[in-house]
Chains A and B, each alone.
Chain A
């Protein structure tokens, strides 16, 4: 068993899994902060209910992101010790900054928010959520900075064969990082927003199914209530309609932003990692056309067997350079350039172990890059379209009674997740065979690159990595099932799942309910695990 292949599978699986939870945490967190701000400012019960309900789902998901994030940080040292030795001087810094400046903030203030209901003054309690969410947003920045340094190393000199950081601002303002961060964050916003749309749709549909809301002759909603079902009062309708509309609008804006930043990122990538983009296009020869559909053995060694069935002339040039007639270099041109610059075989160096002398294959797995790129865009367009459709269909205040449509709305939650995953798989597999991609156009970084084949821990056996991969895989599988069951249970429970006293008469002014009572030592806690 080759430790390298297993370690790569493990990193891929654990990272993709982690990045299922993280975008939801980021996106839903920002929306949640908005809801609580609205509640504190207006005192409107609807926003309190939204904060409580979405906050519960947020926490169920948040903990999975925390639990799986630690694996990422440990894994560099455990399975990729040569990588860690090589890049530690520059790559460890953003990770440590993330811990010190962002993750401490996020975790501490989220604990304050969870247990702060009824104990902290209302505005201070709101502030703890906003600070926690800000922590998660900053946290994402540092992680993207670290990843972008692998895509495009900057701010270093090569000293004794290792990159040594010389300019931290160059690392922190790496153009690759800034664009990737905007793209990632907007993608996360879209995930959170689509989550709102799908689940709100379900509840509006459930209200119609139960005969609570009806529509008049002109198709306008007639909001009703059902005292026998906890939480199904008139305010409840507003909770879901607002959730749906906010979600749809934010999703549309988010996807717009994703498209704009994605375009900027692609233009950078054509310059910084031309082979990744050529592989994403299955572009064998220099040219200007954008492939809509390619057939042939994408994974084959002979790129010429790939036939572009549908091609839009000029579009690829436009995506890469902003005009319609500059040729974009194809795979057949680029590979000899790479071979000339970085060799045709792994050098005879002890760090390559048994892999020394192996031929280097500079072409990433083209099925993955070609289809990953297209699926990412396709899922993004699908999700954006679903959001537009949701706004249109609910213009009269509720959803149609159609059950298939409800299921389609719920299923559309998955589209932005899929876009996120395919996008990351594309960009990470597209950088192979490098783990640190050489920077083609900066001075001072000559020789700062690393083949993935040299990065794995030399002292760790394949058996050890198989053990961790199987163990983590099993645990992740079980926990994904548990998380899904819990999310479904709390989603179906509606507001009452997060607020057991929903609709109960309050014995005092709702504005005061969360002001702490000075003699409240023996009071029942507002929240406990």
Chain B
């Protein structure tokens, strides 16, 4: 009986897709801070487009990880231990990014902000590349032994597929963030973001397209190829919309491209969740890596309650913050001064205690 493990494989695929879809523009905006503009107020504007939502988006990663742990402990253990170094980089990157978002505006010097901008940009890049490498490898394979442990040393994961996966997610995040900024801002940032989509998206999306095609040529079926066609149509439609200045459609097109693209990947690799490049008999599959029937049943109930609610209140958040913002709307930043007199008042003898 593989029904429940299959449902949970779909659930994990949904969580990863949700992560890339939502955090994709957060990470992309972070990277664009490095190159997008030299003006501090424009950087601040870009940061504030993701300000209210980025933290909620990051939870998709936490939940994807925890759900993999709960539903497929062997997948979780083998993948995470095999990718020890790249995941360490992901963690450090996400730490820097989170702290940079919160702390950037809390200092008043240019130097302070420049350093946090770098932390934010490089952190976003490291997280996108590392997560991409991990996803690239879980769909193409790692040198695992019969116990699911990595052989070949600390860098055995460093293959062309790791680089391809990393570039795929980085490239996608950049395009996704550009359509997002074009949709959420006014003024020069909006114009620049739109031009970025039109000019650079064909190149930036190349790695993710290559990743999709590699998976399809390895284990594609008619159904998964159909998804590829949908993804291609969405990407082209998104690009044409961006060129026509229809920002909402452009964003929707790129978003649909991602959903169809990741769906085609996960559907094509099913039922293998983590192939071993050493021996096909050691592949981890939905059946061999899954938790027991009871645990999956319990988790299904939890997910059926939790996930719709998440979609509901996160959707509401996007509704609350639906308006475009411009640099003119940013409140002035102020310098925090100690609330104290420069010299203490003299102590009247009578009242001294």
Stretch at the interface among A192-200, A228-236, A334-342: A228-236
Q: Which residues of B contact A489 (CB under 8 A)?
A: 106, 336
* Inter-chain contact B329/A523, CB cutoff 8 Å: yes
Closest to B85 in A: A464
B81-103 CB contact bits vs A (8 Å, 1 = yes)?
A: 11111011011101110110111
- B223 near A: Cβ within 8 Å? no
Q: Which residues of A contact B151 (CB under 8 A)?
A: 459
Which residues of chain B from 325 to 353 have any CB-CB distance to chain A below 8 Å in the complex?
325, 328-331, 334, 336-341, 344-348, 350-353
Beta-carbon contacts under 8 Å, A50-96 to B:
59-60, 63-64, 66-71, 73-74, 76-79, 81-82, 84-85, 87-93, 95-96
- Does A425 count as interface, using CB distance less than 8 angstroms? no
Q: How far is the CA of A78 from the CA of B306 in the complex (A)?
A: 27
- Once A95-B70, A401-B353, A527-B331 are accepted as A-B contacts, the answer to whether A459 and B82 lie under 8 Å apart by CB is yes
From 292 to 346 in chain B, residues with beta carbon under 8 angstroms from any chain A beta carbon are: 292, 294-295, 298-299, 302-303, 305-307, 310, 313-314, 317, 320-321, 323, 325, 328-331, 334, 336-341, 344-346
Question: Which residues of A lie under 8 Å from residue B350 when comparing CB positions?
Answer: 217
Contact of B52 among A112, A164, A472 (CB under 8 A): A112
The answer to the question of A216 belonging to the interface, with a C-beta cut-off of 8 Å to chain B, is: yes
**Interface majority SS (helix, strand, loop, mixed), chain A:** helix
- Cβ–Cβ contact B339 & A120, under 8 A: no
Q: Which of B54-62, B177-185, B224-232, B237-245 contacts A (4 or more CB under 8 A)?
A: B54-62
For B74, give the chain A residue with the smallest CB separation: A85
Complex Cα–Cα for A490 and B106 (A): 9
* Most central of B69, B85, B351 by chain A CB within 10 Å: B69
A89 touches B336 (CB 8 A): no
Answer whether residue B210 sits at the interface, using C-beta atoms and an 8 A cutoff.
no
Q: Check if A105 is an interface residue, CB within 8 A of chain B.
A: yes
**Residues from chain A with Cβ under 8 Å of B337 in the complex:** 230, 493, 496
Bound Cα distance A166, B294 (Å): 7
Question: Are B338 and A99 neighbours in the complex by a CB distance under 8 Å?
Answer: no
Q: Indicate if the CB atoms of A100 and B154 lie closer than 8 Å.
A: no
Given contact pairs A92-B69, A108-B313, A522 touches B341 in the complex (Cβ within 8 A): no
Majority SS at the chain B contact face: helix
A305 at the interface (CB under 8 A from B): no
Q: Most B CB atoms within 10 A — which of A100, A219, A464? A: A100
Q: Which residues of A sit under 8 angstroms from B102, Cβ to Cβ?
A: 59-60, 63, 529
> Is the C-beta of A101 less than 8 angstroms from some C-beta in chain B?
yes
Is A151 engaged at the interface, CB distance under 8 Å to the other chain? no
Looking at B43-51, B199-207, B249-257, the stretch in contact with chain A turns out to be: B43-51
From A67, A91, A228, B98 is in contact (CB under 8 Å) with A67
Once the chains bind, are A88 and B345 in contact (CB under 8 Å)?
no
- Knowing A107-B55, A226-B341, A490-B336, the reply to whether A460 touches B81 (Cβ < 8 A) is yes
Q: Answer yes or no: A168 CB below 8 A from chain B CBs.
A: yes
- Of the residues A211, A215, A493, contact of B345 by C-beta under 8 Å: A211
| B105 in contact (CB, < 8 A) | yes
- Contact (Cβ within 8 A) A92 B81: no
Within the complex, which residue of A105, A111, A457 is in contact with B84, where a contact is CB–CB below 8 Å? A457
Contact yes or no, B344 A209, CB < 8 A: yes
Tell me whether A486 is interfacial, beta carbon within 8 Å.
yes
Within A510-529, the residues touching B (CB, 8 Å) are 521-529
Contact B149 A111 (CB under 8 A): no
Residues of the A chain whose Cβ atoms lie less than 8 Å from the Cβ of B271: none
Q: Who on chain B is nearest to A103 by CB?
A: B59
Residues of chain B contacted by A526 (CB below 8 angstroms)? 331
Q: Which of A111, A209, A464 has the most CB of B within 10 A?
A: A111
Contact B339 A493 (CB under 8 A): yes
A115 contact from B52, B85, B94, B339, Cβ within 8 A: B52
- Say whether B330 contacts A524, CB under 8 Å: yes
Q: Count chain A residues whose beta carbon lies closer than 8 angstroms to a beta carbon of B.
A: 107
Contact residues in A for B96 (Cβ distance below 8 Å): 475
Q: Which of B66, B106, B150 is A95 in contact with, Cβ under 8 Å?
A: B66
A104 within 8 Å of B (CB atoms): yes
- Closest CB-CB distance, B239 to chain A, in whole Å? 29
Task: Return chain A residues, CB-CB under 8 Å to B66.
Answer: 73, 92, 95-96, 98-99
For window 212-242 of A, CB contacts with B under 8 Å fall at 212, 214-217, 219, 226, 228-232
In residues 294-323 of chain A, which contact B (Cβ within 8 Å)?
none
The docked-state distance in angstroms from the alpha carbon of A401 to that of B347 is 9
Question: Is B78 engaged at the interface, CB distance under 8 Å to the other chain?
Answer: yes
Which residue of A is nearest B293, CB measured? A164
Whether A97 pairs with B62 at a CB distance below 8 angstroms is no
Cβ-defined contact, B88 with A468, below 8 A: yes
Point out the residues of chain B lying under 8 angstroms from A209, CB to CB: 340-341, 344-345
Assembly CA distance A24 to B76 (angstroms) = 31
**Chain B CB within 8 A of A22 CB:** no
Contact B351–A70 (Cβ < 8 Å): no
Quick check: B65 and A73 within 8 Å, CB to CB?
yes
Cβ of A178 to closest chain B Cβ, rounded Å = 19
Which chain A residues lie closer than 8 Å to B339 at the CB level? 203, 206, 229-232, 492-497
Contacts of A461 in B (CB 8 A): 153-154
Chain A 102-151 residues near chain B, CB threshold 8 A: 103-105, 107-112, 114-116, 119-120
Q: Which residues of chain A have C-beta atoms less than 8 A from B65's C-beta?
A: 73-74, 77
9 tightest Cβ-Cβ pairs between the two chains A and B: A88-B73, A211-B345, A77-B80, A92-B70, A100-B306, A459-B149, A494-B339, A99-B63, A92-B69
Can you report 28 residue pairs joining A to B where beta carbons are below 8 Å apart?
A60-B106, A63-B103, A66-B98, A74-B90, A78-B87, A79-B81, A85-B148, A92-B76, A93-B295, A99-B66, A100-B63, A100-B306, A104-B63, A108-B59, A111-B317, A114-B52, A115-B321, A119-B321, A209-B344, A215-B351, A457-B84, A461-B154, A468-B85, A486-B107, A493-B337, A494-B339, A496-B336, A525-B330
Additional A-B contacts beyond A74-B80, A214-B348 (11; CB < 8 A): A63-B101, A67-B99, A89-B295, A96-B63, A115-B321, A164-B295, A475-B92, A489-B336, A525-B331, A526-B331, A529-B105
Q: Which residues of B contact A (CB under 8 A)?
A: 44, 47-48, 51-56, 58-59, 61-63, 65-74, 76-85, 87-88, 90-92, 94-96, 98-99, 101-107, 145, 147-151, 153-154, 291-292, 294-295, 298-299, 302-303, 305-307, 310, 313-314, 317, 320-321, 323, 325, 328-331, 334, 336-341, 344-348, 350-353
Chain A contacts to B: CB under 8 angstroms: 59-60, 63-64, 66-71, 73-74, 76-79, 81-82, 84-85, 87-93, 95-101, 103-105, 107-112, 114-116, 119-120, 159, 164-166, 168, 203, 206, 209-212, 214-217, 219, 226, 228-232, 400-402, 457-461, 463-465, 467-468, 471-472, 475, 479, 482, 486, 489-490, 492-497, 500, 521-529
